């Protein structure tokens, strides 16, 4: 039997949520207690937020975490 290796890729809709609420990266960063650089890195895919931070972001936007962050599986 062949073993499939699954690569998990975190996809986020944070820029969409920010745009819909007309919120700057700086405003969001201050509201959730991180730096603007952290928001830039999350939105650019260079940094995956901790579970706690992901929940803080979702709570700020009053939505479920899965509406902002999701996983795509890629077969290798």
Q: Is 5 helix (H, G, I), strand (E, B) or coil?
A: coil
Quick one: average pLDDT of 1-7?
Answer: 57
- Each domain of the chain, given as residue ranges in start order, spans 12-63
Question: What's the pLDDT score for residue 29?
Answer: 98
For 35-57, letters b (16+ CB in 10 Å) and e give: eeebbeebbeeeeebeeebbebb
Tell the CATH superfamily of the 12-63 domain: lambda repressor-like DNA-binding domains (1.10.260.40)
Question: What's the pLDDT score for residue 73?
Answer: 73
Percentage of residues of the chain with pLDDT beyond 70: 88
Angle at 18 between CA 63 and CA 46, to 5 degrees: 95
Question: What's the pLDDT score for residue 1?
Answer: 44
Its pTM stands at 0.82
């Amino acid at each position: 039997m062949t073993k499939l290796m699954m690569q998990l890729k975190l996809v986020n809709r944070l820029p969409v949520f920010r745009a819909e609420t007309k919120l700057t990266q700086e405003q969001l960063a201050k509201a959730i207690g991180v730096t603007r650089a952290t928001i830039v890195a999350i939105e650019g895919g260079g940094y995956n937020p901790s579970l706690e931070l992901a929940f803080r972001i979702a709570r700020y936007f009053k939505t479920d975490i899965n509406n902002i962050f999701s996983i795509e599986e890629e077969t290798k």
